[in-house]
Amino acid sequence: MVACVALAVVVVARASAPVRGDESAARKVRRGERATKDDADDARAQSNRRANVLSAIGNTPVMRVESLSRLTRCDIYVKCEFLNPGGSVKDRVALRIVEDALASGALRRGGLCTEGTAGSTGVSLAMVCKAMGVECFVAMPDDAAKEKSALVEAYGARVERVRPVSIANRGHFVNVARREAERARARDGVGGGYFADQFENLANFRAHADGTGVEIFSEIGAELDAFVCACGTGGTLAGVGVALKERKPSVKLFLADPQGSGLFNRVSRGVMYTKEEAEGKRLKNPFDTVTEGVGINRITENFKVLLDRPGMLTGAVKVSDAEAVAMSRFVARHDGLFIGSSSAVNLVSAVRVAQSLGPGHCICTIACDSGLRHMTKFWDDEYLAKIDLTSHDVASADSLSFLDDDTVVTAARC
């Protein structure tokens, strides 16, 4: 009897913040039924207690976006990756890269892990490295939002902000990071310096194939009709895509692409560049977009996973900055969902995919990071006005008129 009461108290206490698996026990207690030992074991097995910050990475919630689902008469879900401890989808990638490098001996504890990144991966890598006893160096373009470099430095990692130039230039942040790892390896031997190389390193793809994709399927399962997301490295779309297709081959995969990126053309027309979009031809920034972390004008090893498997991609959606900005304001006001720029591109695309498939379909995408990472650019109306981006009126919860009519889904010809 005493044991039963104790068990009920434990289950009631946990019922205030139920996790998957102990919900049924909590529900029983709320209904006044007695929880069984099996329920308690189940609740313990699903415990929310974590050994350290690393074990809090992943298993993020999948959430229905009510406004967009209602307006498209589909179910639109986001996988809330901004709830990872480092604040973005890149936590799982950083963890897998460092784990794999330590396991192979390419990196040792006390060694230096370097990365060139427009932001999120740097934050995640700094967090993961510090938790694993590895030093961290991050090179990033100096036009990336300042809060990202400040965060990387907060974890004690070294940051170098460089001019945004073409990848062909030795001063590109990726090349700066690679050289820093080479220097450390030359000085300290194998394991002393390791370039994370998220663009080409397939540990990135594996993190999503074994993690994000499996989690999405376990939450949504056979109901899922389509998955769409934008690509920086391509790791998310490739990894999630492969995991979903293995489990349900009829799931349709779509690329979302911001303005200035060449991937949309590569997927929908079979050619990488428009004349204006060829990386290296621009004088200033290769991507004339306010979005961060997505869009690219070269084929990475991670994106190649998709191209190497015929029939993986069903199509692509092009998204303008104005649409992304408006979408972020719309879901903040109508759903209480405060997202960053790549997540907004993803949601615009999810709507377009929903509209092209028609009512009754189920579409999932990624909320990569929170709007908090973007307060000084994407979420700063004064900054946006300076680059001629004025917010659409998104006050009406009954209209998606802020989306351009020509944001179409184009079939894949990759």
- Please give the full DSSP string across 68-116, using - where no structure is assigned: HHHHHTSEEEEEEGGGSTTSBTHHHHHHHHHHHHHHHTSEEEEEEEEEE
Give me the phi and psi of 55, to 5 degrees please.
-80, 0
**Residue numbers of the site for ligand PLP (CB under 6 A)?**
88-90, 119-121, 231-236, 293-294, 340, 342, 368-369
Pick left, alpha or beta for residue 140 (phi over 0 → left; psi -120 to 50 → alpha; otherwise beta): beta
Nearer to ligand PLP, 25 or 140 (CB): 140
- Cβ atoms of 93 and 192 within 8 Å: the answer is no
What is the token pair recorded at 175? 């090349």
Nearer to ligand PLP, 233 or 328 (CB): 233
Q: Measured at CB, which residue is nearest to ligand PLP? A: 293
210 Cβ contact list (under 8 Å, min separation 6) = 96, 239, 243
CA dist list (Å): 382 to 339, 344, 378, 390: 18, 19, 10, 9
Nearer to ligand PLP, 219 or 292 (CB): 292
Which neighbouring-strand residues pair with 393? none
Nearer to ligand PLP, 131 or 229 (CB): 229
What residue has token string 């680059």? 387
Minimum distance of ligand PLP from residue 233's CB (angstroms)? 3
Q: Using alpha carbons, select from 126, 128, 187, 119 the residue that is nearest to residue 149.
A: 119
Nearer to ligand PLP, 191 or 293 (CB): 293
CA–CA separation, 305 vs 299, rounded Å?
10
Q: Using alpha carbons, select from 112, 64, 76, 120 the residue that is nearest to residue 94.
A: 120
The 10 Å CB-count burial string (b at 16+, else e) for 362-398 is bbbbbbbbbbebbeebbbeeeebeeeebeebebeeee
Minimum distance of ligand PLP from residue 99's CB (angstroms)? 17
- At residue 49, what is the residue type? R
